């Protein structure tokens, strides 16, 4: 299955997908393209090192967000992508884009949704004082971090955690969970029933 990974930042999740899926022929997953909205995203360097085609699509180069989305859509369709993976992609798509790729966009978020959605989940988690946080992988819908949840893993929050220490613990789980979920999607094991995502054993 050809997938696209969209990333704005350092791309440690992309790296996990390269190592555990793209470079494992038994995974059935090929990262056909990596797209970023930031020219300097280190994710682009990681993709190039792995020989994966990259594109930069910047919001400022388009008259509006529909035009930005359309450019990304053009690349995805040209690369015959079947699944879109958001991995630290810091732009929201318009509803028309989500409708076009319904149930074919997956995102990862560093909290146990529906707790702490939005752009600052880790500081929000620490500020609230919860004892448990984690990782959520979900299908993207028209809401913000609101679509059907595919998988979650918890991590403890310690009294002396700061953003760096908590994020480090979360990243360890992200890098295991994201490849596992995508492998299952590619194997046809995920079924969406209303808000629930069922995992069928193959």
Site of interaction with ligand GRF (CB under 6 A)? 7, 9-13, 87-88, 108-110, 174
In the complex, the smallest distance separating the C-beta of residue 147 from ligand GRF, rounded to whole angstroms, is 14
Contact 139, 197 (CB under 8 A): yes
CA dihedral 200→139→79→30, nearest 10 degrees, is: -50
Contact 47, 30 (CB under 8 A): no
Query: Which residue of this chain has its Cβ atom nearest to ligand GRF in the complex?
Result: 88
Nearer to ligand GRF, 16 or 72 (CB): 16
Nearer to ligand GRF, 109 or 183 (CB): 109
Nearer to ligand GRF, 39 or 63 (CB): 39
Spot the catalytic one: 109, 120, 171, 175: 109
Give the chain's length. 202
In the complex, the smallest distance separating the C-beta of residue 195 from ligand GRF, rounded to whole angstroms, is 21
Active-site residue flag, 109: yes
Close Cβ partners of 150 (under 8 Å, ≥ 6 residues apart): 106, 137, 138, 139, 181, 190, 197, 199
Could you give the residue numbers annotated as active site? 109
């Amino acid at each position: 299955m050809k997938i696209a990974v969209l990333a704005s930042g350092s791309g440690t999740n992309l790296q996990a997908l390269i190592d555990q899926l793209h470079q494992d022929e038994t995974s059935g997953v090929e990262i056909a393209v990596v797209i970023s909205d930031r020219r300097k995203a280190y994710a682009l360097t990681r993709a190039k090192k792995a020989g994966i085609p990259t594109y930069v699509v910047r919001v400022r180069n388009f008259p509006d967000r529909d035009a930005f989305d359309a450019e990304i859509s053009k690349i995805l369709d040209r690369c015959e992508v079947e699944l879109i993976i958001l991995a630290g992609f810091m732009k929201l798509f318009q509803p028309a884009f989500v409708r076009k790729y319904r149930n074919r966009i997956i995102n990862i978020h560093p909290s146990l949704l529906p707790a702490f959605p939005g752009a600052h989940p880790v500081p929000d988690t620490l500020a609230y004082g919860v004892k448990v946080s984690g990782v959520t992988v979900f299908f993207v819908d028209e809401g913000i971090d609101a679509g059907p949840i595919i998988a979650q893993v918890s991590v403890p929050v310690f009294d002396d955690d700061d953003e760096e220490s908590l994020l480090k613990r979360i990243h360890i789980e992200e890098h295991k969970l994201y490849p596992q979920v995508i492998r299952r999607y590619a194997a046809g094991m995920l079924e969406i029933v209303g808000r629930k995502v069922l995992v069928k054993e193959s």
